[in-house]
Structure 1
């Protein structure tokens, strides 16, 4: 496959998954019936396509075109960093296996074989009747085929299709639901795009893929409620540390898939303790782009029932996403300098699987982005309320009073009032000399910002934090919320809690870890 063929394959894959996304979502019953396999595969392919186009754009000003190895590596890398869900993570590993062998000069059948092997190795407990089975069948059929690449592609597709047809007989939950495996169905779309890219024409359509009979109303033994959270993150770590991470995560939950290599990994697991899964990543290396999704009510055979109401919160750091997810929110974690785009917020609103959604941006700079996302979600038929929270501490206050049982309007009013009654502050370190509302600061000074304005200029974090707290509590307050930055020692919270207890009677203090790059976030209700 030359560079142009790989690019065409990637583009056709995105188109195919875009057409079939809702159909694949509708038959998603394993490993969790959350109705998002098609969407996850599409978003993974979208990231791969963006990486491929970036390679061609980079060569646009040069005399040479990218090599097929360059493009295949980009496709695999893009899928790795953008992988969503169990199926998307496995697809990224399949592409990595293909890239590895094609770069080494192997033929297509060998590349498909390596892809199937790597994907199976990445899954902690492989199960037959899934995308892994379909990938292995495609590789076997390709290996048995002789002749031109077109013949190999057609054979791989035919083998995958036959294996997909057989999945309801291999996995009980599929048989009872009367559907084929959703991940395998998505892989068939990817292989169909490969056939079209190489042969010039698409294979015959697979069919609707929708349930052939009504889904059972009573859950069977394979439908027992699973872990509450899906945790996904990218991880920069050495291979040895990742091996230990696999063992720890395997003990914490299920659906564990770890893909990647060369220092960059994509980690996917279903757990009840989202914080422990993130902490395991911190011990192994540097996790980022952390995504935590609350599955909500127990899965049902057809698809996760759409909840009446959900909360979507944008939160920084490693600890706050887990905290908000445990409170029932769908989170959009952020890193310094990497604010989410409106498309990511819309995706999070969709992942919440609710008719009514409360959106908490928790950052004044996201006001317009969040408004655009809310408007797009409304156009898709969802009822979305945007509460303009300016800080994660306001989001925590709003989430604390959220009650899904009351009317939507009453809930939004209560959450808005709680956020509005919370004054927010944060500490930051000055990067250079500049004028502020509190005077001139020098590089290295610690700045205390209250409601967005510099109010205190100090020489150390503790002294500045105490001054900020005293100023905020001078007008009264009942509860102080402290959110320590990812690199802030816990001793700071101990000293601040003691100060509040000794100097401000009848004021309670609560502390949370992992609030991002800011040394400290403060909320006063």
Structure 2
């Protein structure tokens, strides 16, 4: 059933749906990116901006639309990348400016889109027809044209359909697009965002597979064009003189100094875009040949921070060297044993196979060998937290994100990998995988290598040891008795599935005996046995 209004929780779901949608179409949007600079990063910039917005809104699920939308706007302005990200931040700010109640209904959405269109047009010094700003304007106009009695679902559908129609016309409005035979990349990103809102409101996200099917102007007329493709008014399409993209956040300023900064940046370069979050923070964007002068201009206007300078030539060289796409996500698992390595590789993970200790240098090399812009590491208890943090910091750079997940054993790592979804945002995927690992109680069955004092007494060499986590909880004369008692303890608080990861020295008889023990004493609990091949444990056990 379609919603008549959207509350704060639903608005938060929309933000995550936007991240998912942009993630799926990121590379497609990047390929369309030919204006104002063909740097193939519009999809990446939109995705980064929306992720920043969603991250800022985490923890506001029970808040009002006003509070959630304000958080989204703050996050988007602070995390905006590129012209497209700057414009997206104003779409979110438009909602925040219009949201004067606890709910977003049809009237609020009309006002929000109109405000977003005005803010987006004001953001750029020289508006150009055929861009995301144009698509947003037509979408807002369609929403405003809906009758007063229109429902929220009717308004959002009209806005999305108008965006699709406006997107199809962009090649006839902007010569760079028409000659390349593509629609505007940022405009496609806006369609994805509006379609995500349709999905939240109606329960059904539109499927649009042919949005980029355009014939180059040099070969044939562009569909929907009313005449020949003409150069974009007011904007030079030859951006070769501008070698750098400069972005920073500006604080401690005011409207007068922000206006003076815009004038100065217009003198220094082009593609100038400046936006605020409505709470005193500004995001500044310019393409120029003198990045130092652009930053100095910011110093005269306030306090620039989070300064980011990109060189178009170097970025192009990186792409030519086939650098991994920033949105590709890889999993690196640290594993002990050939069987375990096959299990993780079978689930799509890269593996660092080790015997004994793993050094930070080995892990750093393995992370850098993963061909992905985002790398999630499943350490599986192989290294200390301090070493993992140090390596992950060393491995991060402008083009690579590294996230270490809290998997303390290989069985926890397998549980995490089972719920991995590369279509989700990195933070959402990491949360889901971490939760799966945390919900897997784990233990191990070992033979005591020597006499030692434990929390439950003194063990002798050759005793069977049962561990939960890293603590010995069972000492028995043999491994069979230790295994039975360990399973009973781990299942005493419940469980539906036991995973047994077999070590190299374990016998088939021991595995069969423990499987039968679970069947007899814990009815309804399923047991799965996998080859691990680890040397240290007879068995690793996971209970879910």
TM-score for the superposition, normalised by structure 1: 0.56
Tell me, yes or no, if the aligned pair for 2:30 and 2:40 is still in contact at 8 Å: yes
Aligned to 1:144: 145
CA shift in 2, pair 1:235/1:158, >3 Å: same
Superposition pairs of residues 145-164 of structure 1, within 5 angstroms: 145-146=146-147, 147-164=150-167
Q: Deviations over 1:236-293 (max 9, x none)?
A: 0222211111111111000000000432100011010000000111111111110000
The secondary structure found in structure 2 opposite 1:54 is coil
Which position in structure 2 is the counterpart of 1:43? 48
Task: Choose from 276, 287, 294 the match for 2:304.
Answer: 287
State how far apart, in whole Å, the 2-side matches of 1:365 and 1:283 are. Answer: 41
Does residue 32 of structure 1 match 2:45? no
The verdict on how the C-alpha distance between 1:50 and 1:305 changes in structure 2, with shifts beyond 3 A counting, is closer
**Structure-1 residue corresponding to 2:396:** 373
CA distance in 2, matches of 1:213, 1:305: 27
Partner residue, 2:436: none
CA offset digits 1:332-369 (Å, max 9, x no partner): xxxxxxxxxx9xx99xx999xxxxxxxxxxxx999623
Matched, 1:83 2:69: no
In 2 relative to 1, CA 238–366 (structure 1 residues): closer, same or farther, beyond 3 Å?
farther
Equivalent runs, 1:112-511 vs 2, <5 Å: 112-146=113-147, 147-207=150-210, 209=212, 212=215, 222-236=237-251, 237-260=253-276, 261-296=278-313, 306-308=319-321, 368-373=391-396
CA 1:68–1:103 in 2, change beyond 3 Å: closer, same or farther? same
Instruction: Give, in whole Å, the separation in 1 of the partners of 2:256 and 2:75.
Output: 24
Instruction: Quote how far apart the aligned CAs of 1:110 are.
Output: 1.5
Does the 8 Å contact 2:19/2:50 carry over to 1? yes
Give CA-to-partner distance per residue, 1:187-231, whole Å, 9 cap, x none: 110001011111110113142626655999xxx983451400000
Q: How many residues align?
A: 317
After superposition, give the CA deviation of every residue in 1:296-332 in whole Å (9 maximum; x if it has no partner).
Answer: 1798xxxx8834499xxxxxxxxxxxxxxxxxxxxxx
**Aligned-partner SS, 1:80:** helix
How far off its partner does 1:94 sit?
1.7
- Aligned residues of 1:254 and 1:270 also touching (Cα < 8 A): yes
**8 Å Cα contact 1:109-1:142 kept in structure 2:** yes
| Runs (4+) off by over 6 Å | none
Structure 1: runs of 5 or more not aligned: 57-64, 311-341, 352-363, 380-525
C-alpha contact 1:55 1:66 (8 A) present in aligned 2: yes
Match of 1:6 in 2: 11
**In the alignment, is the contact (CA less than 8 A) between 1:239 and 1:263 conserved in 2?**
no
| Distance change in 2, residues 1:222/1:269 (3 Å) | closer
Corresponding position of 2:538: none
1:126 aligned counterpart, secondary structure: coil
Unaligned 5+ segments in structure 2 are 1-5, 220-230, 324-363, 374-386, 403-544
SS at match of 1:235: strand
Deviation string, structure 1 residues 435-456 (Cα, Å, up to 9, x no partner): xxxxxxxxxxxxxxxxxxxxxx
Counterpart of 1:497 in structure 2 is none
Please give the alpha-carbon distance, in whole angstroms, between the structure 2 residues aligned to 1:115 and 1:170. Answer: 21
Q: Is the 8 A contact 1:234 1:265 kept in 2?
A: yes
Superposed displacement of residue 54, structure 1: 3.1
1:103 maps to 100
Conserved in 1, the CA contact under 8 Å of 2:179 and 2:217? no
Given that 1:131 and 1:183 are in contact with CA atoms closer than 8 Å, whether structure 2 keeps it comes out as yes
CA–CA separation in structure 2 for the residues paired with 1:20 and 1:212: 20
Distance 1:172 1:30 in 2: 10
| Equivalent-residue separation in structure 1 for 2:174 and 2:307 (angstroms) | 31
1:2 positional shift: 1.1
CA RMSD of aligned residues (A): 3.3
Q: Distance in 1 between matches of 2:216 and 2:18?
A: 29
Q: Is the 8 A contact 1:124 1:255 kept in 2?
A: yes
| Mapped partners of 2:125, 2:239: distance in 1 | 20
The separation in 2 between residues aligned to 1:197 and 1:51, in whole angstroms, is: 20
Question: CA contact under 8 A between 1:225 and 1:298: conserved in structure 2?
Answer: no
Shift in CA distance, 22/210, structure 1 to aligned 2, threshold 3 Å: farther
SS of residue paired to 1:103: coil
- Quote how far apart the aligned CAs of 1:82 are: 0.6
Residue by residue over 1:111-153, the C-alpha shift from the partner in whole angstroms, topping out at 9 and shown as x without a partner, is 1111101110111100000000000000011111131000000
Q: Is the 8 A contact 1:93 1:118 kept in 2?
A: yes
Aligned partners of 2:178 and 2:217 also within 8 Å: no
